[in-house]
Amino acid sequence: MFISNAYAQAASAAGPENGLLGMLPLVLMFVVLYFVMIRPQMKRQKEHKAMIDAVQKGDEVVTAGGLIGKIAKLGDNFIHLEVANGVEVQLQRSAITQVLPKGSLK
């Protein structure tokens, strides 16, 4: 008596264009994420690998731990870094972060 009948409006069916428009922000976010984060990281990894492959005996390098020295011996996965006269440290090649110009160490 006091409650009136409520009638639902006819809902329009979601067409395929509504589904594609709903996914558009997600696709745009992925594209932006790729160009802002993923692609530069892959470029840095490629440059680091090229730098590590190009090091030679006698190069002066900086390691990830902050050691600075000359490469005394090279192996496939490891290097021997001379940090002082007669003092060598064995490190993984991937620990090299930077190759210094010749003559940087005195």
Per the structure, how many domains does the chain have?
Answer: 2
Residues 65 and 103 both lie in one domain: yes
* 77: containing domain: 56-106
- pLDDT tens string 5-48: 766 665 555 556 677 788 889 999 999 999 999 999 999 999 99
Q: Is residue 1 part of a domain?
A: no
- Answer for the pair 99, 63: CB distance below 8 angstroms, yes or no: no
- pLDDT confidence of residue 22: 84
Q: Is the pTM of this model over 0.85?
A: no
Distance CA 26, CA 13 (A): 22
Residues 60 and 106 both lie in one domain: yes
Distance CA 106, CA 104 (A): 6
